[in-house]
Copies of this chain bind each other. A is one copy, B any other.
Amino acid sequence: MDFFFKPRGIALIGATANPRKGGHAILKNLLKGFPGGIYPVNPRYNEILGVQCLPSVASVPDPVDMAIVFIPAAQVPETIEDCAKRGIKGIIIESGGFAETGPEGKALQARIDAIRVRHGLRIWGPNCMGLVDAKNKFVFSFASPTIWDEGLLPGDVSLIVQSGMLAGGFLTDTMTHGTMGVSKVCSIGNKSDVGECDLLEVLLNDPETKAVGLYLESIPDGQRFFRLCRAGEKPVVLLKGGVSPQGAQAAMSHTASMAGDGRVVRGAMAQAGVVQARDFKQMMDLCRALSMAPSLPQGATGRTAILTYSGGAGIMTSDFLSLFGLSVAELSPETRQILGTVYPDWMPVNNPVDLWPAVEKNGAEKAYQTALSAVMADPGVDAVIMHIYAGGFALITENAKLAQTAREAGKPLLVWLLGGRDAARAMHLELQDLGIPVFRELYRTTECLSAVFRWHRSRNERGGETEAPSSLPAPAREALAGREGVLDEHDSKGFLAAVGIPVIEEYVAAGPEEAVAFAGRVGYPVVVKGLLPGEVHKTERGLVRLHLATPEAVNDAVLAVREVVGPEGRVLVQRQAKGAIELICGFFRDPQFGPAVMLGLGGVFAEALEDSAFAVAPLDRTEALALIGRLRGWKILNGLRGAPPLDREALADILVALSRAGAAFDGLSEVDINPLVVENGKPVAVDATVILKDAGK
């Protein structure tokens, strides 16, 4: 991909002297910053903007690695052929008129793609705004050249943006406000060839990029995307468009039907340590905070000191810390004593550290510097949020010294800034140059700090490079031997037991006597079920008899159930599990992310709370525990009304086993354990359905 990011020479096909056209803007942008060869191609001109214009791609001199194409869609295929003949390997097509415009455009795009494959080219676009590299001053884009005047601020955040118009508009907005620097901004448009994964791979290895933000409407290769993010050492922030609850498809198993609504994406991203954003600017703010944060020590949990000039804003910050799962740091006696030296006598020292009285007594410089040094040195403080006012209030601080204090402590320092329009902007830029991220809303400030700690934690929760096992263990293979389609409950649990998942004691009874004998062994009450091949709605068909407390009841139930299932079916008797907590746990194949597991609250809570979490298979223990931790209903898992809490390790074992089995064996289509009842803390599979791929398919 180097020909896109470090070309030696660029052919610009569609260059024009008309200043209202994109082909003109691209040339202007190239001339302003690109030091290599710039070769406008257009047979109608001899020169444009003082640069010699060439009649054809064939006449472009060496070296040339890359072409930017901005001509009517219909002429693009021929041009691509010309580029290939000239030996150009990388092509950015910025023209629109392709797949986004309906069937004809789709066909045109397919033609381009065929040419690409034939010649071994890489094509970026079409229908995109190309690349802006603010550090190297490369603007390979028809973005308005006014961005050069308004501020092409270099920074450490790189972006990948799917929507064309948005990339342009959003980028210009961001850059001309001059408060957010960027490194490489990639507008990927229709993604006919070069997609988010290709670019993400480049950016994760790019020394000029410290964090990557993505706006995507689709992630066609979810598995590659997941692997890249999980393996990468840089923060990745994703804004995913199109998450409204419309995508849930009908599906046979409960597991798959719970997978709609963006929940699999959310689960996979959480597992890979990707921070999910909500909105465009918020994504930029998250990227900014993450790119500027120091690496945190292992034990840092988010205990935060608040330095403020306003008691009210201090209170609000405490509220937000609590909301975002961070905490107001308990200051040490040493810290309190140092703060006491700048406070007036009447003022008690607390966190939030309200500095206004200290500012009145000692001036802002001394008050802020003393306070920041003290809290940064406090071992009970993991991070600091500082409130600053620009332009007035005698709140003048020596920012370079404050920044140095933070840098030396190696702890995040985030600033919430108020102030006059111009004064605040100047202060914002100054602080940012010093490595301190600045925010204009207090909620956002705290939200971004929490993202720093969440990302840090996600690195610790990240699994090892979990390889899918190459095949199922022998007992599991045996359990599946000769079976196909939907397995009945007993066979399904036979498979689960074979991969090491605890299942309820049960027995296929030939008749009432065997069932009663079994009940005598495991103890009453028991459950009697009628099993039919392919039947997944036993309860609805009256095939489940619960709470059987006497031999007579068992006898009657067996006879009744056998009547329904007939000679095709069989009768199962099992110990009735006792447990207040019911879970649902499953395996399935997600169209985007491949093998995946689901964990959810079951029973009456399933409907009321809709609490479920997803992860990509296979999982290791760390990831399984993190998955459990992502359920919102932790109060239920920790034991309601004095019930024993869930044994999380035991549940993690089940999730690991299920995920490894599914990843190992392609023939496994879906597994649904519902319910997985927690008995005295230990989860046990009480009902289950295993679905194998149809032999015929």
Contact = CB atoms under 8 A, between A and B. Distances in A.
Contact of A418 (B163, B173, B178, B244): B173
A148 B319 CA distance: 34
A310 B215 contact: no
A480 B344 CA distance: 57
Interface centre among A102, A166, A177, A320, by most B CB within 10 Å?
A166
A389 interface: yes
Interface residues of A, number: 76
A118 interface: no
A216 to B, nearest CB: 9
Interface in A240-279: 241-245, 278-279
A695 interface: no
A147 to B, nearest CB: 8
Interface centre among A318, A608, A609, by most B CB within 10 Å?
A608
Given A607-B635, A607-B640, A418 B315 contact: no
Interface string A218-249: 00000000000000000000010111110000
Interface string A343-371: 01011000000001100000000000000
Contact of A241 (B100, B217, B316): B316
B165 A356 contact: yes
B101 A173 contact: no
Given A244-B319, A316-B279, A609-B608, A419 B173 contact: yes
A121 interface: no
Interface stretch (A130-138, A435-443, A570-578): A435-443
Contact of A176 (B166, B421, B608): B421
A418 B170 contact: yes
A169 B418 contact: yes
A311 interface: yes
A242 B166 contact: no
A313 interface: yes
A282 B101 CA distance: 39
Nearest to A357: B101
Nearest to A317: B241
A150 interface: yes
A280 interface: yes
A528 to B, nearest CB: 22
Contacts of A609: 608-609
Contacts of A429: none
Interface of A: 100-105, 144, 146, 150, 162-166, 168-170, 172-173, 176-178, 215, 217, 239, 241-245, 278-282, 309-313, 315-316, 318-320, 322, 344, 346-347, 356-357, 389, 391-393, 418-421, 424, 440-444, 580, 604-605, 607-609, 633, 635-636, 640-641
8 contacts: A102-B346, A239-B316, A241-B316, A242-B319, A244-B322, A279-B444, A280-B442, A607-B641
